[in-house]
Amino acid sequence: MAGSVGSENPIQRLARGFRDHPITEAVGRYSNTTRHASKRAKARVLDIGHPLVVLTRGTRQMAADAKTYWTEAGGHEKHKEWRDLVVFVFAVCAVAVGFQPYGVLLLLAIWAAGATYLGRDRPDPGKDPESEAHVARLQSAYNGLVPYLMDAHDPDERFKPGGGYRSGFTEWEFDDGDRLVSLKIQYSPFFKDGESDSRAKVERALEGKIGQSNEYLYDWDEEGNKLAVRILPPLPIGIPAQPWKVAEIEYVLGFTDPTSTARLIPVQLSAEPGGEVPVVELAPVVWRHGRFAAEPHLLVAGVLGSGKSNLLRSLAAQALGHGHLVTAIDAEHTGHFDEFSGRDGVLRVESQPAAAMDLLDWVCAESTRRAERLRDLGDTEDTLMTELAKPLWLFVDELASLGEAAGRAGLADPQDLLADLMRAGRTTGVTVVVSSRAERVSELRATVRNQAHARVGLGQLPPGASTALFGGTLEIGGPAVLPPGRGFARVGGGPVVRVQVPVAADVTAALPVLVGAVVSAGDGETGEADSFGGTDGTGGTGGAGGVGQDLY
């Protein structure tokens, strides 16, 4: 083919160029139908002749500008004289330049430059800058919402039949794959956004228009009459708890969307013994925790069976893996902490109210003892401090139930003790993790809630609970039933992100691996820990040795 190009005459070359010229994307869609052959030809002509089109458009603009100048200057005599003078000087200059060597070429170059500038492609100010496909999808979502958000009393009439999507949607975003991933809606102040039925209608309408296979995160701002929606693919479920590759002071609460965090860690997806264990990179939700941490305590709230105890167990396993001391109160006698009893590092696990209150008293006394010793020592070596204030964890599963049981038994309110403990815990190295049924979050005192700045909400939270936890009515839409361990998390003043908690089902199998990993790292080995299922049963030791930073 290359040989034939040299022997082409200019006309053949032009014809070949025209034939081979890439057609534009829009026209490409029609390329398989003869019906649109003329459209294709027109697009090719416009594409190849684009410089000519620009020059013609610019020349026409130039002529129109000159005409406007000529006619508009005629309003006043004085202006008219000025105009005549300017035109005369311009004409004389042009003629003088024209008679110079290359003068005509220079004039042509000036004309071409001016025409190219004036005829350049400019966006049509009246045209929607979104692509047609995006406009169609946004408008379809808008139309689907009109029956539910239309309000005759709304002076702005943001949602009305025949309205444009821009009057109701304030922001939207499409990802690289052209998926709508976020949408912000401003609605009438008269819309009953406090009623879950009204909200549900809007949510289901959006899901119907945008697609049922996604997961939707709804953030209702009832004060501002705004709804922020994020549309995301479902998170992976059933991730087995394992020794996470994070820093020593970091604890993995769960996993979120890659767009919500700036990092990914390798995660083994299966705990099945034998065979290839798939490893993927997932975005962790990390709680940074340690002495003087900004968020030393955690509050987990969730609906019935949403996986609160599982999260507490997962954190207890991580704490033991770091060689920390663990105590736990199982207020509802679920037995979720039984398999921790008697393990190295586990000081006490209680479920009876009297014993649980006794444990609370002990932890408070230990915290006070630590505070006094630290005060006596003043500034001392870090290693001694670390030994004195060895991290001690108190897990209270279902705090509201514990309060109720203690009240029935005529005991003190555990929240009184907890509030003091949490306040001092930051310096004394005592971490409190409490869980509560979502509908009972309001029973937790503000003094307790305010000390727990790291928060996780699991399952479909009632509006009151999500407001108490995150300051807004958050809902997850899409699948009818959320998998256990799915919810939202916020650490301190960070953003609220959705989270999928890993499953810590078989802690008996998990602990030896976690603790073994710490010990072998302390021995200087860098080998990676097995997944839970892969354990060969090498019993765990106390795990008080050094913590392998590269393993956690």
Ligand X SMILES: Nc1ncnc2c1ncn2[C@@H]1O[C@H](COP(=O)(O)OP(=O)(O)OP(=O)(O)O)[C@@H](O)[C@H]1O
CB-nearer residue toward ligand X: 203 or 397: 397
Q: Please tell me the distance from the alpha carbon of residue 149 to that of residue 160, in angstroms, as a whole number.
A: 8
Instruction: Give which of 297, 421, 405 is closest to 355, Cα–Cα.
Output: 405
310 is an interface residue for ligand X by CB under 6 A: yes
Residue nearest to ligand X (CB): 485
**Radius of gyration in angstroms for the set of CA atoms belonging to the chain, rounded to a whole number:** 35
- Footprint on residues 326-385 left by ligand X (CB under 6 A): 334
- Footprint on residues 214-243 left by ligand X (CB under 6 A): 238
Cα angle 360-441-216, degrees, rounded to a multiple of 5: 130
User: 108-123: string of b/e by CB count within 10 Å (b at 16+)?
Assistant: eeeeeeebeebbeeee
Q: Which pair of structure tokens corresponds to residue 371?
A: 């505070």
Considering only 23, 97, 247, 505, the residue that binds ligand X (CB under 6 A) is 505
Q: Taking contact as CB under 6 A, which single stretch among the options 97-105, 108-116, 182-190, 502-510 is the one that binds ligand X? A: 502-510
Could you write out the DSSP letters of every residue in 147-175? HHH--TT-TT--S-TT--HHHHEEEEEE-
Number of residues written out for the chain: 552
Q: What are phi and psi of 48, to 5 degrees?
A: -70, -40
CB-nearer residue toward ligand X: 441 or 503: 503
Instruction: Give which of 301, 260, 308 is closest to 284, Cα–Cα.
Output: 260
Tokens 């399952």 -> residue: 459
Q: Is 182 annotated as a binding residue?
A: no
Q: Is 533 annotated as a binding residue?
A: no
Q: What are phi and psi of 212, to 5 degrees?
A: -85, -15
Q: Taking contact as CB under 6 A, which single stretch among the options 49-57, 153-161, 306-314, 349-357 is the one that binds ligand X? A: 306-314
Q: Taking contact as CB under 6 A, which single stretch among the options 143-151, 304-312, 360-368, 517-525 is the one that binds ligand X? A: 304-312
Considering only 242, 306, 431, 451, the residue that binds ligand X (CB under 6 A) is 306
Identity of the amino acid at 265: I
Q: Please tell me the distance from the alpha carbon of residue 459 to that of residue 130, in angstroms, as a whole number.
A: 36
Closest contact distance (angstroms) between CB of 330 and ligand X is: 10
Q: Please tell me the distance from the alpha carbon of residue 300 to that of residue 282, in angstroms, as a whole number.
A: 22
485 is an interface residue for ligand X by CB under 6 A: yes
Q: Is 477 annotated as a binding residue?
A: no
Considering only 258, 305, 407, 542, the residue that binds ligand X (CB under 6 A) is 305
Closest contact distance (angstroms) between CB of 268 and ligand X is: 15
Q: Please tell me the distance from the alpha carbon of residue 214 to that of residue 229, in angstroms, as a whole number.
A: 12
484 is an interface residue for ligand X by CB under 6 A: yes
Q: Please tell me the distance from the alpha carbon of residue 518 to that of residue 542, in angstroms, as a whole number.
A: 10
473 is an interface residue for ligand X by CB under 6 A: no
Q: Is 493 annotated as a binding residue?
A: no
Considering only 210, 392, 432, 501, the residue that binds ligand X (CB under 6 A) is 501
Q: Please tell me the distance from the alpha carbon of residue 491 to that of residue 212, in angstroms, as a whole number.
A: 30
Considering only 444, 503, 507, 510, the residue that binds ligand X (CB under 6 A) is 503
Q: Which residues pair with 216 in a beta bridge?
A: 231, 477
CB-nearer residue toward ligand X: 353 or 485: 485
307 is an interface residue for ligand X by CB under 6 A: yes
Q: Taking contact as CB under 6 A, which single stretch among the options 134-142, 341-349, 357-365, 498-506 is the one that binds ligand X? A: 498-506
Identity of the amino acid at 41: A
308 is an interface residue for ligand X by CB under 6 A: yes
Q: Which residues pair with 251 in a beta bridge?
A: 287
491 is an interface residue for ligand X by CB under 6 A: no
304 is an interface residue for ligand X by CB under 6 A: yes
Q: Taking contact as CB under 6 A, which single stretch among the options 7-15, 278-286, 300-308, 322-330 is the one that binds ligand X? A: 300-308
Q: Is 127 annotated as a binding residue?
A: no
Q: Taking contact as CB under 6 A, which single stretch among the options 28-36, 199-207, 308-316, 529-537 is the one that binds ligand X? A: 308-316
Which parts are annotated binding residues for ATP? 302-309
Binding region for ligand X (CB under 6 A): 238, 302, 304-310, 334, 484-485, 501-503, 505
